[in-house]
Amino acid sequence: MLASAVGLAGCSDGASKPPEESPARNEATPTSAPKEKVEITFWHVWSDKDAGPITARVEAFNKSQDRITVKVLGNQDATKQLTAISGGNPPDIALTYWNNIGPWGQAGAVLPLTDYLKNGKVDTASFVPAALERMKVNGEYYALPFTFSMASTLMYNKKAFQDAGITKPPETLEELFETAKKLTKRENGEITQIGFIPDYPWIDNVFWPIIFGGSWVDANGKLTANQEANVASIAYQRKFYEEFGMDQIAKFRSGMGQRGTPNDPLLTGKLAMMIGWEYNFPEERKPDGPIGIAPFPHPANRPDLKGSGMVSPRAVFIPKKAKHPDEAWEFMQYLVGHESQVEFSVESKTIPSLLPALDDPKLRGNEKLVMMHDFYERAKSKTLQGFPNSVYINEYLQALTEETEKALKGQATPQEAMDRVVARIQPLADKAASKS
């Protein structure tokens, strides 16, 4: 395998060194003659609408030095990246979602960063641990987290709280359930306002188990999706359906209004509370806005889980057959560096993945980012978690969604559903373990 990769790299570009040959050394040793100018290609997933901040980073990098020119290309979704990498024409560096790193890394499409990290400028300890952890597959880092999205917040409609006479947001999950009951209104037996829907905006098979302190795989490679905490997280969600009625929620939900538009149900108050990400309602959650925020509740008997939540990073990686891996690494270090992290976060209102950046005065002192300040603080929480990355991650997530849906609909008990997930996916995990 190694030989073939090297051979191909040699074929595609005679001048480039095979990446396995301790590539960082080239960079570390100061060379007497200045190297030739190199152009590298960088692909990301954003469309024009969201591409501004990343384009600005690329331009800044190009200006910062005169050896490497980065050519940036947006709109390159996973299918395109896969086809191009598999088809032998990959970019030098690319941005994708964290859950691609496991399968792509194990399949041999991504260059492991282990050697680079040993000799580079990047200090892995400075990353938000939960974000960095997602880049790890079988003990090796295949990518670095560029930014991440975070769900550890409860968002609520302030007016709905006022109308119901609720003065402070729920702190425990038990309170959340009671508050949701108080915030639910019916007319002629039909729901007209609902307090909380646990699977809105989608069935979240990662968020909920994290909130209950669950996990998915143990140190011995045994899947743990059917352990107590995970099962409890589904049973908890199911309680809402038993309370409000399956069909009634389904019907009300379909007419609730489109998410992310001026008729978003949380804005109109049809939905009183929801799981919040840092990109939800950036303007409306400012101090005088209609949306309130609070830490997401924790189980009453688990105060140690306060501040927990889920992170889903965006990953920068170097394809194995990249023509200029050294230069790509150079650029990657810039992207995850302090300055770039802060600037990007300012422009795109995202959370930097670098711990020191979370306290940067450019973010903390910026009045325009007032709606982000809480999130920067919560990003430091030790109880943040994520889903373990692996080659079989997408099958695992898909199975979790399918079985959780059945449990929520009462077609199976939560325990049965999760037992089935483990039975379905354990063979894949065993196979992956036997291969590595």
Partner 1 sequence: MTRTAAATAGFRRRRNKALWTGLLFISPWLAGFLLFQLYPILMSFYYSLSEYNLFSDPEWVGLQNYKDLFGDSKFYLSLYNTVYITVFGLLPHLAFALGMALLLNMSVRGQAVYRTIYFLPTLVPAVASSLLWMWLLNAQYGLVNELLGAIGLVEPNWLVDPAWTKPALVLMGFWGTGTQTVMYLAALQDVPKVFYEAAEIDGAGRWSRFRHITLPAISPMTLFLLVIGLINSFQYFTQGLIFAEASQSVGGPENSLLFYAIYLYQTAFSFLNMGYASSMAWILCVIVFGLTLLIFRSSARWVYYGGEK
Partner 2 sequence: MAQTITRRSGLKIGVRKKRGLRLLRKTVLPHIGLTLTGLLFLAPFAWLFITSIKTEQEIFAIPTVWWPDRVQWMNYVEAVRTIPFLRYTFNTAMIGVLSAVGQVLVSPLAAYGFSRISFRGRNVLFYVMMATIILPFQVTMVPVYVMFNKMNMVDSYWPLILPNFFGAAYYIFLLRQFFMNIPYELTESAKIDGASEFRIYWQIVLPLSRPAIYTVALLTFLHAWGDFLGPLIYLNDPAKWTLSIGLRSFIGEYDVSWGLLMAASTLFTVPIIALYFFVQKQFIQGITLTGFK
Considering the rule CB under 8 A, would residue 19 count as an interface residue with partner 1?
no
Decide which of partner 1, partner 2, none touches 48; Cβ closer than 5 to 8 Å per partner kind.
partner 2
Reading the block at residue 52, the tokens are: 């501004």
Considering the rule CB under 8 A, would residue 206 count as an interface residue with partner 1?
no
Site for partner 1 in 155-194 (CB under 8 A): none
Decide which of partner 1, partner 2, none touches 220; Cβ closer than 5 to 8 Å per partner kind.
none
Of 272, 249, 274, nearest in space to 195 by CA: 272
351 forms beta bridges with 148
Q: SS3 sequence, 162-193? A: HHCCCCCCCCEHHHHHHHHHHCCEEECCEEEE
Which one of 27-35, 123-131, 274-282, 400-408 is the stretch in contact with partner 1 (CB under 8 A)?
400-408
Question: Which of 252, 334, 344, 375 contacts partner 1 by CB under 8 A?
Answer: 252
- Per-residue binding string, partner 2, 231-270, x by CB under 8 A, is ------------------------x-xx-xxxx-------
Question: Which of 28, 73, 78, 423 contacts partner 1 by CB under 8 A?
Answer: 78
Residue type, 113: L
Question: Which of 8, 24, 84, 397 contacts partner 2 by CB under 8 A?
Answer: 84
Please identify, using beta-carbon distances, which residue of 76 and 237 lies nearer to partner 2: 76
23 contacts 116 by C-beta, under 8 angstroms? yes
CB neighbours of 63 closer than 8 A, spacing ≥ 6?
A: none
Considering the rule CB under 8 A, would residue 77 count as an interface residue with partner 2?
yes
CB 45 to partner 1: min, Å: 15
- Per-residue binding string, partner 2, 24-63, x by CB under 8 A, is -----------------x---xxxxxx-------------
Q: How far apart are CA 181 and CA 103, in angstroms?
A: 42
How many other β-carbons are positioned within 10 Å of the β-carbon of residue 6? 15
CB 170 to partner 2: min, Å: 26
Considering the rule CB under 8 A, would residue 12 count as an interface residue with partner 1?
no
CB 321 to partner 2: min, Å: 11
CB 336 to partner 1: min, Å: 25
Question: Which of 29, 32, 79, 188 contacts partner 1 by CB under 8 A?
Answer: 79
Of 176, 172, 189, nearest in space to 272 by CA: 176
CB 216 to partner 1: min, Å: 17
337 contacts 211 by C-beta, under 8 angstroms? no
Q: Measured between alpha carbons, how far is residue 332 from residues 173, 325, 415 in Å?
A: 40, 10, 43
Distance spanning both ends of the chain, measured CA to CA: 13
Please identify, using beta-carbon distances, which residue of 48 and 66 lies nearer to partner 2: 48
Please identify, using beta-carbon distances, which residue of 19 and 103 lies nearer to partner 1: 103
Considering the rule CB under 8 A, would residue 83 count as an interface residue with partner 2?
yes
Decide which of partner 2, partner 1, none touches 103; Cβ closer than 5 to 8 Å per partner kind.
partner 1
Asked whether the bond before 361 is cis by omega within 30 degrees of 0, the reply is no
Please identify, using beta-carbon distances, which residue of 368 and 435 lies nearer to partner 1: 435
* Binding residues for partner 2, total number by CB under 8 A: 27
CB 252 to partner 2: min, Å: 12
Considering the rule CB under 8 A, would residue 139 count as an interface residue with partner 2?
no
Decide which of partner 2, partner 1, none touches 77; Cβ closer than 5 to 8 Å per partner kind.
partner 2
Phi, psi of 325 (to 5 degrees): -65, -35
CB 199 to partner 1: min, Å: 9
C-alpha radius of gyration, the chain, whole number: 23
Site for partner 2 in 275-314 (CB under 8 A): 279
Which one of 162-170, 231-239, 282-290, 399-407 is the stretch in contact with partner 1 (CB under 8 A)?
399-407
Residues of the shown chain interacting with partner 1 in the complex, contacts defined by CB under 8 A:
1, 4, 78-79, 82, 85-86, 103-104, 106-109, 201-203, 247, 250-255, 320, 391-392, 394-395, 398, 401-402, 405-406, 409
